[in-house]
Structure 1
Amino acid sequence: MAKQRDDFVDLIVDNLQLFCPATAKRMFGGYGIFCGDLMFALIIAGELYVKVDDENRNLFEEKGLEKFSYLRQGKTCYLSYYTVPEEVIDDLDTLSYWAGLGYEAALRANN
C-alpha cells in the first residue's frame, strides 16, 4: 500500500509556491523538497530542514537551529541541513527567505 503524503508536506509545498514551483519527492523516510531538479530542503518527522553550507551555516547556528541527524549502525550521522525557525512556516515571505538560503547553498554545492 502506497503511503500518502501528510498535510505538513502539502502545506510546505503550497507555501513555497511564492518562492518557486516546489515539489516533494518521497526519500530518506521523509520527503526531499525540490525546485526543478535541485533539492534544497527535506521534511523528516514533521520538521522542515534546508540545505546549509559554509556561507550560511553561522546564521542557523546563531539562532540555535538543529542540524539534521540520523542513526546509522548505532552512530550519529549528520547532513548539511538545518531546521528553519518554526514561526516562519505560515509566513510566506519569511519562509521564502529561508528557502532561498537553502536553495543558494544547494546551487553552490552543485557547481
Structure 2
Amino acid sequence: MAVSSEYKAFVAEQLEPLGPVRIRNMFGGAGVYFDDLMFGLIVGETLFFKVDERNRGDFEGEEMGPFVYEPPSGKSIAMSYYELPERLYDEPEELVLWARRALDAALAAKASKPVKTKKAARKKTARPKN
C-alpha cells in the first residue's frame, strides 16, 4: 500500500524536533531516516519505529506489535520495527522521546554489524575457476 504525501509530511513535521529527518519511498512504503540511518518505517498510514531489547517493552506495554512482512514464499517475517501507539500523535514531546530511542536502537544495530572489508567483499564476488 502506497504512503500518501500528506502522511509523510505529517510524520516529518512530528519528528522535526529530532533534527534532519528524511522520508524516502521504498517497496511500496517509506523509510524514515536520520542522516543515512533508518530508524522508522511507514506502511500505508502507519508509522513503525526500530526496536531492540531496550525499547521493545515500551511498545509491548502499549500492546503494539511488529511489522510483519509476508513475502511470496508465504512465510511471515516479523521485523524489528514496532507500530507506534496512536496516542503519541497527541503527545509530541513523548513521540520525539520514542523516536530518539528508536534512533538509539538503529545505531546499536548498525554498530553490532561487522564492518565489511575489501577482502571480504572480493570473496563474495569471486567466482570459482572451472
State TM-score, norm by structure 2: 0.77
CA RMSD in angstroms, aligned pairs only: 1.6
- The structural deviation recorded for 1:99 is 0.6
Task: Flag structure 1 segments of 5+ consecutive residues without an equivalent.
Answer: none
The answer on whether the counterparts of 1:18 and 1:92 sit within 8 Å (CA) in structure 2 is no
> Which deviates more, 55-64 or 3-12?
3-12
> Aligned ranges for residues 1-111 of structure 1 at < 5 Å?
5-72=4-71, 73-111=73-111
Poorly superposed stretches of 4+, deviation over 3 Å: none
Q: Give the % identical residues.
A: 35
Q: CA–CA distance in 2 between the matches of 1:14 and 1:58?
A: 26
Q: Which has the higher contact order (CA 8 A, sep 6+)?
A: 1
State TM-score, norm by structure 1: 0.90
Secondary structure at the counterpart of residue 79 of structure 1: strand
Larger strand proportion, structure 1 or 2? Answer: 1
Q: CA–CA distance in 1 between the matches of 2:3 and 2:99?
A: 24
The answer on whether the counterparts of 1:15 and 1:90 sit within 8 Å (CA) in structure 2 is no
Residues 1-38 of structure 1, C-alpha deviation per residue, up to 9 Å, x if partnerless?
Answer: xx885211110011111112111001131110001111
Q: CA–CA distance in 2 between the matches of 1:4 and 1:45?
A: 5
- The structural deviation recorded for 1:92 is 2.1
Larger Rg: 2
Q: CA–CA distance in 1 between the matches of 2:82 and 2:10?
A: 19
Q: CA–CA distance in 2 between the matches of 1:37 and 1:5?
A: 22
Larger helix proportion, structure 1 or 2? Answer: 2
- The structural deviation recorded for 1:91 is 2.9
How many residue pairs get aligned? The number is 109
Q: CA–CA distance in 2 between the matches of 1:97 and 1:40?
A: 13
